[in-house]
């Protein structure tokens, strides 16, 4: 459902909220949606309350033409959602861009003295440091070319090529995956939001932001593919040296989509972490 007060789409699954119930809030990557978490959802729903968020401009969320699609803007909306819903016993999970947003949110909770809401952080191939942008994001920063490709080749072809460029084994990309990722890109509003987010994806304060990571004392799982071409493994390794209570798990023969490329292994790593931090 669309949140009544914020430009987010939130789907709630699993157990009813209560004093002893864990809440899992999941944030997707650039160009993605809550579709990307489908292999993890059943196990998480059996353990607690699951909130699948389509961030502003992505998936089924509203796509206002207000030009505010920077990671800090997206994080501000998630923070407001957490406070409006008074979420507690929260495990914040983010992939790629969603991981970068999750880091912003965690710092925001820390600055507000609201650290106790958050009991765990899970960063999957997360944006975190200055790095070379992957080609599919670079393409989004050139809206004229991107628009031409979308019109001539169609969203499914463009999305299929983008997905194959970020996984370890290109042959594992299925038609169902392509359809799932391409479905939200059928409107001009969706594509404009995508391009706007791409142009704003590098935070101007990133250098300062990274100096604050050691302040984050929450137990953190870092989950990476050994062969990630989009957010290289060195990012996860650097985070593991910087975040005081972090654990790095590396999946072999895996690229940028651990949840989809290695669903059983990635879920096992997640469940081990949840059990160790209960």
Q: Where are the domains of the chain?
A: 9-132+203-276
pLDDT band, very low/low/confident/very high, at 3 (cuts 50, 70, 90) = low
Q: What is the pLDDT of residue 154?
A: 84
Q: Which CATH code for domain 9-132+203-276?
A: 3.40.50.1820
Q: What is the mean pLDDT of residues 10-30?
A: 92
Q: What is the pLDDT of residue 76?
A: 97
What sections of the chain are H helices per DSSP? 41-47, 71-84, 97-111, 135-140, 143-153, 155-164, 175-182, 188-199, 206-211, 233-242, 258-261, 263-276
At 177, list the tokens.
Answer: 């995956």
Neighbour count for residue 224 (Cβ, 10 Å): 27
Q: What is the pLDDT of residue 117?
A: 96
Above 90 in pLDDT, residue 53?
A: yes
At 276, list the tokens.
Answer: 């160790």
Above 70 in pLDDT, residue 4?
A: no
Q: What is the mean pLDDT of residues 239-254?
A: 98
Above 90 in pLDDT, residue 155?
A: no
DSSP category for residue 69? -
Q: What is the pLDDT of residue 241?
A: 98
Q: What is the mean pLDDT of residues 89-97?
A: 98
Q: Are 32 and 190 in contact (CB under 8 A)?
A: no
At 12, list the tokens.
Answer: 């709630």
């Amino acid at each position: 459902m669309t949140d009544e007060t914020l430009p987010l789409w939130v789907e709630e699954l699993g157990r009813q909220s209560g004093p002893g119930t864990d809440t899992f809030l999941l944030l997707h990557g650039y160009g993605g949606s809550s579709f990307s978490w489908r292999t993890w959802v059943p196990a998480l729903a059996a353990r607690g309350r699951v909130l699948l968020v389509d961030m502003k401009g992505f998936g089924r969320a509203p796509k206002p033409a207000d030009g505010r699609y920077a990671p800090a803007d997206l994080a501000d909306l998630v923070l407001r959602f957490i406070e409006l819903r008074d979420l507690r016993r929260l495990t914040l999970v983010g992939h790629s861009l969603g991981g970068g947003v999750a880091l912003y949110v965690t710092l925001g909770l820390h600055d507000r003295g609201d650290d106790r809401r958050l009991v765990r952080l899970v960063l999957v191939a997360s944006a975190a440091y200055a790095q070379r942008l992957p080609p599919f994001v670079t393409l989004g920063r050139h809206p004229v070319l991107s628009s031409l490709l979308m019109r001539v080749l169609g969203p499914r072809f463009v999305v299929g090529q983008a997905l194959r460029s970020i996984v370890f084994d290109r042959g594992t990309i299925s038609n169902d995956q392509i359809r799932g990722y391409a479905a939200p890109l059928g409107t001009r509003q969706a594509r404009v939001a995508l391009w706007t987010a791409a142009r704003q994806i590098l935070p101007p304060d990133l250098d300062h932001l990274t100096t604050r990571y050691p302040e984050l004392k929450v137990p953190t799982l870092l989950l990476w593919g050994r062969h990630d071409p989009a957010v290289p493994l060195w990012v996860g390794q650097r985070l593991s040296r910087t975040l005081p209570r972090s654990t790095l798990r590396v999946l072999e023969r895996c690229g940028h989509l651990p949840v989809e490329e290695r669903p059983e292994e990635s879920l096992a790593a997640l469940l081990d972490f949840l059990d160790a931090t209960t």
